[in-house]
Amino acid sequence: MFRNLNDIDRIFGNMGLLRNQMNRLFEDFESGRGGYPTAGSWPKTNFFDDGDNILVYCEIPGVNEDEINIKLHNNLLTIKGERKSDTPEGYAILRQERKVNSFSRSFTLPVEIDTEKTSATLKNGILTVKIVKAQAAKPKKIVVQAA
Amino acid sequence: MSTEREMGKPEQESPEVFKPGQTTAPDVDIFVNDDEILLVADMPGLAKEDLAINLENNTLTIEGSYTSTFAGTPQRKEFDSTDYRRVFTLPKGIDVEKTNAEFKQGVLRLHLPKSASVKPCQVTVKGD
């Protein structure tokens, strides 16, 4: 099957190539825009953790404060809303790429949270939800003492 | 034999990948009536000051740079800082002087009025 060592070497060379391609595949995934498995969902949502809080960022251009509905039930966060159609009266449509009118996304939060302290702000079409972690879920520094 | 060499070899061999700057073409709606062309574009995150609209000859460019201000470590990331940019070729007969724009909650509404010469007008037919 393997005529000489060269053949074997070539096979491993190809494997290296494959590995490189796989590596790049994951880089695409990590690069945010484009590669994420849920990238097709609307609105695009980011989750950040700064230790004491979970910060949720949502891209919702053209949605007003009163059209957003955020619900927290146990560990389930639901962001719902409606973007009113802004197709003006008496105009012909030449192009329509901005499609979504109502949206809803739900996420299970990985930690215990303090539901009461949640707050949200909206700026330039980006919604920021600040969820405060329950005391038990916050990171705690442990001091090592000399015995 | 090459197995060990391949397995043990760290990253150095894989070529470095240049991450292209994130450029996003904003989603747009374009509407038209007898008086104007109305362009609506989604540019979430962008502040009004960072938006540039440029009209030159028949070319309309809308662009702006959004820099994210996320705090903490990312757990899930579906969007990030980006440069918005999109270029359109306009039909003739746009009254550039009267062009105006509104920008609210990341949505741009750009009104491009048609000049009087290209507006449709009714011709009355006289007969006996």
Q: Residues with Cβ < 8 Å from A25, sequence gap 6 or more? A: none
Q: Hey, is the C-beta of A89 within 8 angstroms of any chain B C-beta?
A: no
- Mean pLDDT, rounded, for A31-40: 48
The reported pLDDT for the residue numbered A2 is 56
Residue B70 predicted with pLDDT over 70? yes
- Taking the CA of residue B28 and the nearest CA in chain A, the distance in Å comes to 5
Q: Determine, for residues A47 and B19 on separate chains, whether the beta-carbon distance falls below 8 Å.
A: no
Percent of chain A with pLDDT over 90: 34
Residue B15 has pLDDT above 70, yes or no: no
What's the CATH code, domain B22-68+79-116? 2.60.40.790
Instruction: Categorize the per-residue pLDDT at A3 as very low, low, confident or very high, splitting at 50, 70 and 90.
Output: low
- Mean predicted lDDT score pLDDT of chain A: 83
* CA-derived radius of gyration, chain B: 24
Q: Which residue has the higher pLDDT, A69 or B2?
A: A69
A59 vs B28, B44, B74: nearest CB = B44
pLDDT confidence bin for B126, thresholds 50/70/90: confident
pLDDT at A35: 43
- C-alpha to C-alpha distance for B113 and B35, rounded to whole angstroms: 6
Tell me: ipTM over 0.90: no
| Domain ranges within chain A, ordered by starting residue | 1-38, 45-86+97-137
Fold of A45-86+97-137: Immunoglobulin-like (2.60.40)
Residues B111 and B97: their CA atoms lie apart, in Å, by 11
Domains of chain B, residue spans: 22-68+79-116
DSSP-derived 3-state class of residue B8: helix
Q: Which residues pair with A72 in a beta bridge?
A: A77
- Mean of pLDDT values over A112-120: 89
pLDDT greater at residue A88 or residue B31: B31
Q: Is A34 on the interface with B (CB under 8 A)?
A: no
A17 contacts chain B (CB < 8 A) = no
Nearest to B78 among A36, A96, A122 (CB): A36
With 50 as the cut, is the pLDDT of residue A34 above it?
A: no
pLDDT in tens, A82-96: 888 778 888 999 988
